Structure 1
C-alpha cells in the first residue's frame, strides 16, 4: 500500500456533548477554587507530615544497618513511606518529592535486598528529600532539580547493574 492509498479517518469527538455545562452534574468552578485554596492552606501541614515520613525512613534505615533480620520486611516499611511521599508531594507542589519517592519505590522493588549498598543509596535519596524540603524547592526544581535527579538516577543504575 502506498502513501497515496492512505485515508485518514477522524472519529467524531462526542465528549463535549456528554459533559454537562450548568445544571445537575456540571463542574462547579467555585468548588474547584475552594478545594485548591484548601490544599494551598495545608502546605505547612504537608511539611510537617513529610518531615515525619522522612524520620520514619531514617529510623527504618538505622534498623536495617543494625540487623540483617527481617530485612525484606524493613525495606517494605521504607517502600510504604516512600510511596506515601510520592503520593503527597505533587499535591502540594513538591514534584521532586514525588519523583524521588517513586524512584525509591522502584529501587526497592528491583534491588537485591541483601545488597550492602542499598541502604546507602536509600540514604542518598533521603538526603535529597531533606534538601528539597529545607530549600522549599517546589515544582521540578529547575536546573538544580534536573542535576539532582540525574545523579540519583546514576546511583540507582549502578546498584541495579
Structure 2
C-alpha cells in the first residue's frame, strides 16, 4: 500500500495580495458599512438595467418557443437559444435578489439541456416555465416567493422529471 503524503499549502506571496486588493482605489478584504452601502447603491442602480435585460431575454425566449412550436426550419436553432437564454437568466437572478427567477430558469435549462425537439407536453412545460419567469419579473418577486411559488416550482420539477426525454 502506497503511503500518501500530506499536501503542503504555501501561502500566496504578498505581491498577489497587493494585486488582488487595491487599497488606494478599491475595497479592502472586509467591507466597511459605507463601502457596503456604496456597493448596494450600484446594484440598485443596475436593477433597472437588469429588469430591461431580463425582459428582452424573456421576449427572445418566447419567440424561440414559437419557432420550436411551429416546427419551422429554425426549430433546432431556437432550442439552442432556449437553452442559452435560460442559462443566462439563471446566472443573473441571484445577484439582484431574485433567487426564484434563478430557480425557474435552472428548471427550464435542466429540462431542455439534452433535449432534441420537444413533443407537445414538453412544449407545454417549457411554456409554463417561461410564464413563471414572466410572473416573477412582472410581480418583482424577490426572495423565495411564497407558498404558491414554491408549489409551482415543485410541480414544474415533477413535470420535468416525468416528461424529460433526450
Match of 2:29 among 27, 31, 37: 27
Mapping 1:27-46, distance limit 5 Å = 27-29=29-31, 30-46=34-50
CA distance in 1, matches of 2:36, 2:159: 40
> Does the 8 A contact of 1:110 with 1:160 survive in 2?
no
Residue 55 (structure 1) aligned with residue 59 (structure 2): yes
CA distance in 2, matches of 1:23, 1:70: 49
- Other-structure match for 1:73: 77
- Other-structure match for 2:155: 151
- Other-structure match for 2:105: 101
1:144 deviates by: 2.1
1:135 deviates by: 1.3
CA distance in 1, matches of 2:114, 2:154: 19
Look up the SS of the partner of 1:147 in the other structure.
helix
Q: Deviations over 1:84-138 (max 9, x none)?
A: 1101111111111101111111101143434332222111001111111111110
- Other-structure match for 1:5: none
> Does the 8 A contact of 1:111 with 1:159 survive in 2?
no
Mapping 1:113-128, distance limit 5 Å = 113-128=117-132
Look up the SS of the partner of 2:113 in the other structure.
helix
Between 1:122-131 and 1:110-119, the stretch displaced more is 110-119
TM-score (normalised: structure 2) = 0.75
TM-score (normalised: structure 1) = 0.77
After superposition, the Cα gap between the structure-2 partners of 1:108 and 1:28, relative to the gap in structure 1 and judged at 3 Å, is: same
Structure 2: runs of 5 or more not aligned:
1-10
Between 1:81-90 and 1:24-33, the stretch displaced more is 24-33
Look up the SS of the partner of 2:150 in the other structure.
helix
Look up the SS of the partner of 1:42 in the other structure.
helix
Structure 1: runs of 5 or more not aligned:
1-14
